[in-house]
Structure 1
Amino acid sequence: MKKRNGYRISAVLLSVLLFVGLFSPIQMKASAAFDVNAAAAVLVDAETGQVLYEKNSDQQLGVASMSKMMTEYLLLEAVKEGKVSLDDTYQVSDYVYTISQDRSLSNVPLRADETYKIQELYEAMTIYSANAATIAIAEKISGSEAEFVKLMNKKAKEFGLEKAKFVNATGLNNKDLKGNHSTGTQTDENMMSGRDVVTLAYRLVNDYPEVLETAGIPKKKFREGTDDEISMENWNWMLPSLVFAYEGMTGLKTGTTDFAGYCFTGTAERNGQKLIAVVMNATNESGEGTYNARFTEMKKLMDYGFTQFERQEIVAAGSAIKGAETLPVQKGKEKEVKLKAASDLSIFAPKGSNPKYKTGVTLNSSDLNENGELVAPVEKDKVVGFVSVKDDQGQAVPFLKSAGKTNVQTAQNIEKANWFVLSMRAVGDGISGGWNWIVDKVTGWF
């Protein structure tokens, strides 16, 4: 009986030890590091668009001044297309003047009927989140903010931002526009999901990386040396020399309204690894939204990305993709064409996890006939699809929809077979065995 009781006591002690081991302070601390105090949060690799972390990323939320990333994109696009120059000037409208005088909003005061260079308005918007300067840029590009908002929503659809809704160029609540709102109701705000915000940021920094040259400026004087000189300190306090300085921080855009809470899209680079992270309606441990909270939670996300992942090369440029080395070709001198990866593909995997990723090819159905074949002639380096990746559990590795994909190309030219070869094949298709061998042998001569 005593022996049996001893076994029971040992079993209970073992259970307790296991429980303590599973929920030790070390384990709980590690788990807590993956939690972000925000209504939504997303972390992605800035080069591949691989999603490394997401929390409530599909819910539509207030976005506040992070909306200005779309205004930045459309301005830089207009500059690239030659429609606008940063050296162009803008004459202040009554609407822009009225907004600029409200210092309760983020603004640089602008003089009525004065002209300003687009370059200085762009800097005021990107560094200081100046709202009137943003509306001025919208008017310069589209003639009015209302027309510019149409452009914003059109571009959002092009990017596949399914939850995005823009009602103004700035991200302010429409009620703050002094009765000048042209779309939506007076209380409307711009709305986006966390995944939409990070996708917009991904497109911005990849299509126009020069935006970080301006977004990364900690401090600058607006109209330095004039009576209108104003000191602009970047609202991104994680930039070097500012109060929450974070190693490698390069941008990008903060946003705050009573409705949206404290939001931040951050970009950072360390040791060649680039990250983009978003926190929306960030709070502190007590559940209170503060300026400091968004930077504390951003630091958590960035630290997680930089310390918990390691790069693994999945496919090398020019190599074959296992399991999809060739693609059948109809009416070609050869019956199939070799495939290759157009560029390197790397995945960020949790350190020490040693997962075994499986690659495949997602083909462009528009390039194939009803039998899933290419039709000769086929040119070398023709893009026929992209590399898809799944983990050892068969789950697809998550990427942003608009992320750059590793294309799959043809590795050789395939000429169209002549009529004799095609005729011989037609005969051979109806006969099996030795005749097929003869057909293949003869057609090989042609």
Structure 2
Amino acid sequence: MKRRIVVGAIAAVLVVVLIAVWRPTGLGFKPNIDAESAVLLDMDTGDIWVDINGDVPMPPASVSKLMTEMIVLDQISSGMIRWEDRVPISAYASKMGGTSLSLKRGEFYTIRELLEGVTIYSANDATVALAEYMAGSEASFVLMMNDKAHSLGLSSRTIFTNATGLSGKDLGFTDPNMHISGETMMTARDTAKLAAALIYHHPDILNISSRTQMHLKNKGLYVSNSNFMLPAMGGIYAYEGTDGLKTGHNNRAGYCIAGSAQRDGHRLIAVVMGAKTYESRFEGAAKLFDYGFFRGLQSGDRVKHMMNPLRIRN
């Protein structure tokens, strides 16, 4: 009898341990994310299902390029610029540090090539070249970024100070005539809302952000996507249904991701900011997606269309 009690007690302990360590999100528990902030947005309902320090402003690194992508696609949609427009590379753009396509002063590239460089590879030189082409200078483009943030209803805690998301230290030289000083900061909530607005208004962005690599023909250059969650990447972080959007990293921001995934017509946006390792940002986003898709399966009253992101519920 005592032996049965002991065996039963051991079995109960094992069950508790398994629940604690084996993908608890699959059982409907909110995930524990190893990062400074994280948000999970359901684009079907506009609900924020997970919010960990979602209103705390954080340095976003290249995730802030989502706003650059938004403005490029807005201008293409309005006819202000065209995909095949040839953009000159300035001396300033060619000096951009960090991730770059090694664009040289005096070279020309199309809007399409540069946007692919921004979206797939997070190229800082391509980002600045686009900003200068659309607004005349990066400084004027930054004003456009903040105006767009206001029109989308992003909070005052999100502010853009350059087109790239680079920190002042990473830039390594003085910005020319910048109108807004300080560092770019975004909240996880605002990042999710921006990502949702980008997909809602310009769904074709996912055709670019889901590509595993891009080819810059003039240079014979191939570069790979840094989003290892894409299924076509085939790695250990690949997640079924993932199709974008943006990763970011620098010493100040840590590792960040604004990811999008869709299963059975159900789209989620997962944002992880301030993770300590590139592994933990992908693991955190996967936990958020697991939780969201599990919860979506349990919800019988889910709206069957994509919610206008301007109506996201706070």
Fold in common (TM above 0.5): yes
Offset, 1:33: 6.0
Q: Which is bigger in relative contact order (C-alpha 8 A, separation at least 6)?
A: 2
Check conservation: 2:197, 2:308, Cα contact below 8 A: no
Offset, 1:145: 0.5
| Structure 1 residues 377-410: Cα deviation after superposition (integer angstroms, max 9, x where no partner) | xxxxxxxxxxxxxxxxxxxxxx9972379xxxxx
Check conservation: 1:265, 1:276, Cα contact below 8 A: yes
Check conservation: 2:257, 2:281, Cα contact below 8 A: yes
Distance 1:194 1:38, change over 3 A: same
Amino acid at match of 1:69: L
Offset, 1:97: 1.6
Amino acid at match of 1:216: S
Corresponding position of 1:232: 223
Corresponding position of 1:153: 146
Corresponding position of 2:36: 39
SS at match of 1:246: coil
Check conservation: 1:160, 1:401, Cα contact below 8 A: no
SS at match of 1:70: helix
Distance 1:404 1:37, change over 3 A: closer
Whole-Å separation in 1 of the counterparts to 2:154 and 2:265: 28
Corresponding position of 1:53: 50
- Whether 1:92 aligns to 2:89 is yes
Whole-Å separation in 1 of the counterparts to 2:284 and 2:257: 10
- Whether 1:64 aligns to 2:58 is no
Corresponding position of 1:126: 119
Distance 1:255 1:272, change over 3 A: same
Corresponding position of 1:299: 286
Corresponding position of 2:193: 199
Amino acid at match of 2:72: L
Check conservation: 1:236, 1:253, Cα contact below 8 A: yes
Whole-Å separation in 1 of the counterparts to 2:189 and 2:203: 20
Q: Which runs of 5+ in 1 are unaligned?
A: 1-12, 283-288, 315-344, 348-398, 406-446
Q: Percent identity?
A: 37
- Whether 1:402 aligns to 2:310 is yes
Corresponding position of 2:129: 136
Check conservation: 1:218, 1:240, Cα contact below 8 A: no
Whole-Å separation in 2 of the counterparts to 1:43 and 1:33: 10
Corresponding position of 1:180: 175
Distance 1:55 1:404, change over 3 A: closer
Check conservation: 2:117, 2:123, Cα contact below 8 A: yes
Which one has the largest radius of gyration?
1
Offset, 1:175: 3.2
Q: What's the Cα RMSD here?
A: 2.4
| Structure 1 residues 181-206: Cα deviation after superposition (integer angstroms, max 9, x where no partner) | 52444xx3210111010000010001
How is 1:258-273 mapped onto 2 (pairs within 5 angstroms)? 258-273=251-266
Alignment TM-score, normalising by the size of structure 1: 0.61
Distance 1:249 1:120, change over 3 A: same
Corresponding position of 2:202: 208
Corresponding position of 1:76: 73
Whole-Å separation in 2 of the counterparts to 1:190 and 1:160: 17
Q: Which runs of 5+ in 2 are unaligned?
A: none
Distance 1:401 1:207, change over 3 A: closer
Alignment TM-score, normalising by the size of structure 2: 0.86
Check conservation: 2:193, 2:312, Cα contact below 8 A: no
Amino acid at match of 1:214: I
Check conservation: 1:51, 1:400, Cα contact below 8 A: no
Check conservation: 1:49, 1:202, Cα contact below 8 A: no
Count residues with an aligned counterpart. Answer: 291
Offset, 1:271: 1.7
- Whether 1:108 aligns to 2:98 is no
Q: Which contiguous aligned blocks of 4+ residues in structure 1 show a shift greater than 4 angstroms?
A: none
Distance 1:39 1:233, change over 3 A: same
Whole-Å separation in 1 of the counterparts to 2:88 and 2:308: 39
Check conservation: 1:256, 1:262, Cα contact below 8 A: yes
Query: Aligned to 1:276, which of 266, 269, 273?
Result: 269
| Structure 1 residues 271-308: Cα deviation after superposition (integer angstroms, max 9, x where no partner) | 221111000012xxxxxx11111111111111111123
Corresponding position of 1:9: none
SS at match of 2:36: strand
Identify the structure with the greater strand proportion.
1
